[in-house]
Amino acid sequence: MSGHMKSPTPLSRGKKKILEVLANFGEVNISKIIKHTSLNHKLVNTYLKEMESLGLVRERRFGRVRMFRLSDSDVLKRMLRNVVELEGSSWVSQP
């Protein structure tokens, strides 16, 4: 294992809620994420930046509008499978 690789950390409940919204709705703006997670704007923004830096979430900009979606990364797919296995979640189906 290389020295720059971090060990996986558990996802917070808030981050799981955001991933669930993205899994259910595809590409959405931050307002829709806030509406469906009941988290505040600052927290959602912070979580999205963290998850984007980890390669879990992708952002696209259309002028001032920011749209977010799940990344197609293998890291994300493995993480979501682990969440499903560990917590019995049924909100994400992987082929």
Does 88 have pLDDT greater than 60? no
Query: What's the pLDDT at 91?
Result: 47
80 vs 29 pLDDT, higher one? 29
Query: What's the pLDDT at 52?
Result: 93
Write down the pTM of the prediction: 0.71
Cα distance between residue 23 and residue 7, in whole Å: 24
pLDDT interval class at 93 (50, 70, 90): very low
CA distance to 6, 67, 69, per residue, from 54 (Å): 10, 17, 14
Strand 28-29 and strand 57-62: the pairing is: unpaired
* Average model confidence (pLDDT) across the chain: 80
So what's the architecture of 13-87 in CATH?
A: Orthogonal Bundle (1.10)
Query: What's the pLDDT at 86?
Result: 64
Strand order in the sheet with 28-29: 28-29, 65-70, 57-62
